């Protein structure tokens, strides 16, 4: 699964990943080191007017339009790519409301003796990347709306399996337009772990365990690297 992620250089990431109008990233210039469920994060979706891409803020944790809404429990932060097209919670969004979630790293926790060790997983070349996402709008019927998203997951790449058996679906840049296009259905090849860029996993501080902590200290290397946690 993916329960936390980072976007530490938003303006640089937006410029590298998307064809957005100049200056559109200003609202998202604040680095994020520990994005957590129920928080608002930047998401790119297909524009409703021009048909191009637009950057919006959405709550992480998808709420289907038919649900009881924010007071009915937490939204779904992840959707399995193998079943999202059929699951009632995700199938409408899978067909018509797909989105791109910019990131430069995600966290996963490895079970070790005495607890869990968090890892920050990023590209070897340090470049940002994009998760495949789905989004929905929930309305209370009186004009108030909640726009939310979820991140698709797939089987973990071989090198990451000692940490966890799942990872986010990471899209290649050339696949962004097809993923956003509601007139096409995604190819299963988009979800293959082999499509992801080369990744590295670095053990980091337990500071990331609390969503209240959102600063560079979350990425500090762990003081003691567990013997079974060294992958590269």
pLDDT value for 231: 45
Catalytic entry in 81, 99, 108, 136: 108
pLDDT in tens, the chain (232 residues): 789 999 998 888 888 898 777 666 666 778 999 999 999 999 999 987 656 888 999 999 999 988 876 765 679 999 999 999 999 999 999 999 999 999 999 999 999 888 999 999 999 999 999 999 999 999 887 778 899 999 999 999 998 999 999 999 999 999 999 999 999 999 989 999 988 999 999 999 999 999 999 999 999 999 765 544 444 4
Fold (topology level) of 5-106+128-197? hypothetical protein yedk fold (3.90.1680)
Neighbours of 56 (CB within 10 A): 15
Tell me the H-state helices in the chain.
10-17, 91-96, 176-180
DSSP structure class, residue 55: E
pLDDT value for 1: 73
Residues 158-169: b if buried by 16+ CB within 10 A, e if exposed: eebeebbebbbb
Neighbours of 124 (CB within 10 A): 10
In whole angstroms, how large is the CA radius of gyration of the chain?
17
Handedness of CA 4, 136, 30, 214 (dihedral sign): negative
**What are the residue ranges spanned by the domains of the chain?**
5-106+128-197
pLDDT value for 180: 95
Bin 159: left if φ > 0, else alpha if -120 < ψ < 50, else beta: alpha
Total-model pTM? 0.92
Would you call 13 helix, strand, or coil by DSSP? helix
Q: Is 2 a catalytic residue?
A: yes
Q: Is 108 a catalytic residue?
A: yes
pLDDT value for 62: 96
Catalytic entry in 2, 81, 99, 218: 2
């Amino acid at each position: 699964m993916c329960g936390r992620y980072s976007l530490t250089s938003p303006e640089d990431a937006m410029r590298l990943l998307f064809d957005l109008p100049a200056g559109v990233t200003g609202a998202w210039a604040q680095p994020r080191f520990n994005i957590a469920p129920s928080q608002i994060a930047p998401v790119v979706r297909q524009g409703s007017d021009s048909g191009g891409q637009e950057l919006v803020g959405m709550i992480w944790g998808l709420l289907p339009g038919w649900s009881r809404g924010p007071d009915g429990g937490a939204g779904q932060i992840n959707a399995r790519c193998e079943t999202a097209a059929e699951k009632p919670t995700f199938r409408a969004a899978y067909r018509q409301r797909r989105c791109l979630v910019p990131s430069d790293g995600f966290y996963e926790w490895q079970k070790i003796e005495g607890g869990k060790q968090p890892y920050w997983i990023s590209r070897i070349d340090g470049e940002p990347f994009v998760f495949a996402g789905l989004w929905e709008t929930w309305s209370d019927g009186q004009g108030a709306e909640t726009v939310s998203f979820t991140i698709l997951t797939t089987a973990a790449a071989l090198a990451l399996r000692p940490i966890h058996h799942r990872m986010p679906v990471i899209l290649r840049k050339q696949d962004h337009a097809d993923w956003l296009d509601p007139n096409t259905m995604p190819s299963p090849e988009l979800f293959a772990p082999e499509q992801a860029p080369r990744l590295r996993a670095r053990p980091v501080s337990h500071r990331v365990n609390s969503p209240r902590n959102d600063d560079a200290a979350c990425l500090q290397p762990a003081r003691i690297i567990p013997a079974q946690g060294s992958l590269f």
